[in-house]
Chain A
C-alpha cells in the first residue's frame, strides 16, 4: 500500500484508550474477578525436585470446616502440553520439580484452604535428580520423563530414551570449508541465566464447571486465549465449544502468561465443587518458583572471519534448560536458536540445538523467545572479534549487517531492513566516535554497542469482526488481549484510520472465546501486524458498505464519496451527512447493525519465498535493533552503573510512536534488570530467593537515561507500514552493557548475570576472565533441516 497518503489517526502519538480505566482503578484484572458462591483454591506443592508419590492422605484436610474439595492427580488424571503433552494438571505418580502442584484444595475462605493444606499428608520416595542440562545429556543420567516417546506431540524431534525434548539442527554452506578459508577462528563459551517474568499481577484464574452441560468457563490472564482453550480441551478430551476462556486486563505477561498455569489448578478444583466457581491466585513465592522462567542456555560459538572482519563461518552448539515440562520450549529451541547467526551475512553456518529436561521450574516463553540468549553470545563475541582484529566494533557490525534484499539463512529475501540506520543512530546518540572521559579516581567509563534480529512466528492467523451500531459505535470483536503493550490502542487506531471515523467511535471489549473469533496469540510481537491487517480487511469492507449505503441515500455514485472523521463527503461538494445520521436514516427506531469480518494470514505472501523446503523458517517481517550503552565501573566495588542507553529500533512505520517508546524503554529496563540484578539462588533444585525483597528487579532509582529512537523502514505488507516492537528491546541491552564494561576496564564477562563479584574477580585476573569451559557433549546429529542449494 502507498504510505504517501496523509493519515489522521495512525502514525500519531494519540493517548492510549485504556488510560481512563487504568488511572482510576476501574480496570478489572483476573485477580479482581469476584463471582457469587466463589470458593478459594490453594495448592500443596512438591518439596522435592524428583520423587515418586507413594501415598496421599487427604482425610484430615477434608474435615477442615469450609473445605469443599481436595483433589489429587489421581482424581483428575489429565495431562496437557502445547507441543509435547508432558504435563499433568496435578502431579500423577511422580513430581519433577520443587513447587509442582500435588494436591489442590477449594474452601469457603483462603484461611480454610491453607489450613487444609497443612493437614494433607503426602509420602514421597526421592529419586536422583538432574539440575544441569549438560548433566542431563550424559549417558546414564536419571530420566525425568521415562515415557517421553509415548507422549502426544506436534512437529518436534525428541530423542527417545533420553532427556532431550528437542533436537534441532540446521546448516547452510560448508562450515569445514568456511573455517579452512578463514584467517582467524574464535571459540567462546557463553551462559545465559534463567530469570523470572515477574509480572506485577501474579498468575490467577477463576474456573466454573457446569456438570450437567459439561461446560467449563475460565476467567484467565493468559495472552493466548484460543491456544490455551484448545490445549485444555485436548487435554480433557472435551469439544472446544464446551470450553470458554474469558480475558480481562492482564497485569503484565512478558511471555509468562502464554500457557496454562493457574488455570490448571482452578479447573481441577472446579470439577469437584458442584457448580461453585473456584479462584486461584498465586502468591509471589509461587509466582517466582512455580510459574515459568526464561530458558537458561549454554552456548558454544565458533566463528571464522577474514582479516578484514568479514564473517565467514559459524558453528553454534546450544543446550537449553527445559525445566520439568516443555510448554513452548521446543519452539524456543528452534526459532529462538537460529538468531545465533545474528543480523549478519555468514556464508557457512551450522547449528545443533538441544532442549533438555531438568528437575527445575519450567522454562517458558520469555520476551524475545530465545533471542535474548542468542544475542548475548553473538554480540559479545562480535566485540571479541573486533578487538582481536583491531576493527571498531561499530564498523565490523556495519560491514556484515544485513541490508534490504540480502538472503536470510534460509534464502528468504529480506524486506524492510532498517538495521544500518539503527546502528548509526544509536551510536551517534552516545557519541560513539567521541573520546571517552578518563578515569575518575577508581571509576572508569566505557561505551558498548550490540545489535539484534528477531522475526515473528510465521505463518499465524488472526481474525476479527467489526460491528457498527446504529449510533455509529464501532466495536472490534477480536481475541487480542490487552497485556499492557497498548494492543487496544493500536488496533483501535488502525480501525479508525481504515474506516474514516474518530478514535472515540471505537470500542474493543476483552476477548471471550465464545464470542471473539480465533487469534493465534498476543505473542511474538505479532499483534499490530497480524490483527492490524485483519482489522484493515474488515474495516475496508465495512467502509464500503457504508459508502454504498450513503450513495443510495444521496442518490450518487459511491466512488464520489469518502468518509473521514465519521462524516460522509462528496467529491467537490463537501460534507453531506454524518455517519450517525446515515445509520439513523437506514435503521430508524427499530435499530440494526452492520457486521463485517476480517481475516489475515501471511501464508500466501511472496515475501516468504525461500530455498526449497525452507519456507517454514521465513518470517513475514524482521525486527532490527541496536542498543548503545555508556557505563561506569567502580573498580573497588565491582559495581556497574549504566549511565545511558540509546535504543534504536526499526519498527516499520509506528502506528503509535508513544506506544513504541513505551515498549523500547520498558524492555531496555527489563534487559538491564535481568543483566545486573536478577539471579535465582538455587540449592538442589530449590529456589531460595522467592520474594521480591530477595529477587531484585529494577526500581525507579536504577533507571538510567534511556533514549528511544524509532527507525522507520518500509514494509509493503504491514498495516500502514507497521512491523512489530514488543520483544527485541530486551535482547541487545545485556551485550551492550558487557561490551561497555570491556571498553571501560578491559574485562570480558561471558556468563550472565553481571554481578559485582564477577567484575571484581575478573579485575583481579587483570582483564583475563577464566574460560567458562563448558563441557558440551559431542553433537548427536538429528535429521534437522538443511538447505539444498
Chain B
C-alpha cells in the first residue's frame, strides 16, 4: 500500500505517494528526476548516492523514502544559490577535483557536511569524512586540495 510522505528537498516541500519499499534514491532519481544523485552499486558500498539528510551525509540507496518523512534533504541540485555556485563547487572546478564526474556530487555533499560542522577541517579529517565515496578515476589528491582550499579560506566561505 502506498504511503504519503512529505520531505523538504532542496528547500522545497515535496508531498508524494511512495511504495513502502521505495528507496530515497529511487524517489529522487525516478520520481523527482533529480538525477544528479548517482547510483553506483545500490548496496551502500560506493557512496555515489550520498545526499544530506538533516545535514548528515547518507547513502540514499540504503534509506527508504518513508523514513525520510519530514526530513530536510539536500541534493547536488540544491547547492548553488541565486545563480551562484557553492564555494566547494567553485573550488572543485578551479582545482580540477573531478574527472568522469560520477562521484562528484557525492564528494561535494560529503565535504559540505564536514565543513558545515568543522569549517576549518584538516587534511586527515577530510580524508576520513570523504572515504565513504569511491572515485575510480583517482581524483582523491585534487579533491583533497579543493576541500582544503575551502577549509583554509576565510570564515564564511564554507557556508
Contacts and interface: CB of A to CB of B under 8 A. Distances in A.
Interface of A: 15-16, 18-29, 31-32, 34, 197-202, 249-252, 254, 283-284, 483-486, 658-659, 661-662, 665-670, 691-693, 697-701, 703, 706
Nearest to A657: B96
B43 A22 contact: no
> Range of interface residues on chain B?
35 or more
Closest 6 CB pairs of A and B: A25-B36, A484-B100, A22-B101, A669-B138, A666-B138, A251-B102
B155 interface: no
A483 B100 contact: yes
A25 B76 contact: yes
B151 interface: no
B76 A284 contact: no
Nearest to A24: B80
Interface of B: 29, 33-43, 45-46, 48, 75-77, 79-80, 85, 89, 92-94, 96, 98-105, 108, 127-128, 130-131, 133-144
A665 B138 contact: yes
Contacts of A200: 38, 40, 46, 48, 100, 102-103, 134-137
Contacts of B105: 23, 25
B77 A24 contact: yes
Question: Looking at chain B's contact residues, is the secondary structure mostly helix, strand, loop, or mixed?
Answer: loop
B45 A199 contact: no
22 contacts: A19-B93, A22-B101, A23-B92, A24-B36, A32-B35, A200-B103, A200-B136, A201-B38, A201-B100, A249-B101, A252-B137, A284-B40, A486-B99, A662-B99, A662-B137, A662-B139, A665-B141, A691-B41, A691-B43, A700-B144, A701-B128, A706-B141
The secondary-structure label for the interface of chain A is loop
Contacts of B101: 18, 21-22, 27, 249, 251, 484
A282 B98 CA distance: 23
A197 B80 CA distance: 33
Given A24-B80, A252-B137, A701-B131, A693 B45 contact: yes
A485 B85 CA distance: 23
A20 B41 CA distance: 25
Contacts of A701: 127-128, 131
Nearest to B143: A700
B89 A23 contact: yes
A24 B38 contact: no
Given A22-B104, A24-B89, A251 B41 contact: no
B137 A484 contact: yes
A691 B45 contact: yes
Given A24-B76, A24-B77, A665-B142, A659 B102 contact: no
Nearest to B26: A110
Given A200-B103, A252-B137, A486-B99, A25 B77 contact: yes
A658 B131 CA distance: 23
A562 to B, nearest CB: 31
A32 B102 CA distance: 11
A662 B100 contact: no
Contacts of A284: 40-43, 45-46
With most chain B CB atoms within 10 A of its CB, the pick from A23, A29, A484 is: A23
Contacts of B41: 283-284, 691-692
B43 A20 contact: no
Given A659-B96, A703-B138, 20 more contacts: A21-B101, A24-B77, A25-B76, A25-B77, A27-B101, A199-B102, A200-B100, A200-B137, A251-B102, A484-B101, A486-B99, A662-B142, A666-B139, A691-B43, A692-B40, A697-B136, A700-B133, A700-B135, A700-B144, A703-B141
Nearest to A13: B96
A25 B93 contact: no
Contacts of A249: 100-101
B89 A202 contact: no
B98 A23 contact: yes
Contact of A662 (B96, B127, B136): B96
A55 B130 CA distance: 50
Given A24-B36, A200-B38, A659-B96, A699 B142 contact: no
Most A CB within 10 A of own CB, among B38, B40, B137: B137
Given A284-B42, A701-B128, A19 B137 contact: no
A361 B8 CA distance: 45
Contacts of A659: 96
A423 B121 CA distance: 37
A667 B138 contact: yes
A180 to B, nearest CB: 46
Contacts of A34: 33, 35
A670 B134 CA distance: 12
Most chain B beta-carbon contacts within 10 A, residue among A28, A197, A251: A251
